[in-house]
């Protein structure tokens, strides 16, 4: 049987890796990576996303753990709604002049996207940690490990997304515009569905909103 600290480290890293593959995360980075023709640049985008996500997680999740803060339902819904808006904006960015997108080299964009995702998901992660680890320092250490796993997982995801272009060479490169348009449309559709769920099911603008961190 593994010692408890080692178990916590492995569990945090594995959950971080899995967290990187959440549907909204993959849709968001696909909209960005669809312009890339290099695995190295795609991996860099994943790393920037992961760093932004981890930073938000450590700040918000760490504050929740340290001060036992509770996020009101309306604020939680608003943070998730910001993810929906961001997905829609990313989608429209892909649809706007997609043929010229290959010349763009986004730097701040994946970091900001990861930051928004981290803000929206930090409450759920912090509550999960608090449910199993009561001490502040071990709980915060778990967040760090979880964040590291998320960075590694997103680097792997974005690298895999770029491999077909590398393997297919010029043939896939000629399809780049179509790939970007498809990724943009998917991002918009996912964002609209998420926004609808938060407004209708969660009652974002209702008098008594309901929110379950996830």
Distance between CA atoms of residues 204 and 142, nearest Å: 31
Confirm if 25 and 87 have CB atoms less than 8 A apart.
no
Mean pLDDT over 24-52 rounds to: 89
Asked if the model's pLDDT at residue 46 lies above 90, the reply is yes
Mean pLDDT over 185-196 rounds to: 95
Asked if the model's pLDDT at residue 65 lies above 70, the reply is yes
Asked if the model's pLDDT at residue 106 lies above 60, the reply is no
User: How many CB atoms sit inside 10 A of residue 74's CB?
Assistant: 18
Asked if the model's pLDDT at residue 33 lies above 90, the reply is no
Share of the chain above pLDDT 90, in %: 53
pLDDT at residue 100, as a whole number:
52
Token couple for 150: 């998320």
Asked if the model's pLDDT at residue 103 lies above 70, the reply is no
Asked if the model's pLDDT at residue 107 lies above 80, the reply is no
Sequence length of the chain is 214
Token couple for 199: 């407004």
pLDDT at residue 25, as a whole number:
93
- Please tell me the pTM assigned to this model: 0.89
pLDDT at residue 157, as a whole number:
93
């Amino acid at each position: 049987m593994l010692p408890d600290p080692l178990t916590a480290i492995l569990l945090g890293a594995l959950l971080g890796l899995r967290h990187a593959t959440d549907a909204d995360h993959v849709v968001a980075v696909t909209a960005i990576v669809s312009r890339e023709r290099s695995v190295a640049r795609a991996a860099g985008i994943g790393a920037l996303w992961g760093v932004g996500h981890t930073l938000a997680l450590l700040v918000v999740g760490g504050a929740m753990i340290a001060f036992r803060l509770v996020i009101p339902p309306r604020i939680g819904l608003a943070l998730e709604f910001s993810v929906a808006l961001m997905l829609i904006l990313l989608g429209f960015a892909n649809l706007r002049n997609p043929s010229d997108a290959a010349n763009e080299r986004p730097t701040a964009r994946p970091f900001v996207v990861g930051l928004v995702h981290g803000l929206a998901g930090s409450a759920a992660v912090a509550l999960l940690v608090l449910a199993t680890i009561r001490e502040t320092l071990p709980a915060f250490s778990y967040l760090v490990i979880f964040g590291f796993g998320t960075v590694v997982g997103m680097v792997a995801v974005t690298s895999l997304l770029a491999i077909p272009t590398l393997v297919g060479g010029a043939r896939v490169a000629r399809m780049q515009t179509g790939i970007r348009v498809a990724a943009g449309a998917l991002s918009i559709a996912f964002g609209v569905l998420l926004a609808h769920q938060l407004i209708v099911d969660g009652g974002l603008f209702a008098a008594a909103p309901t929110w379950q961190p996830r």
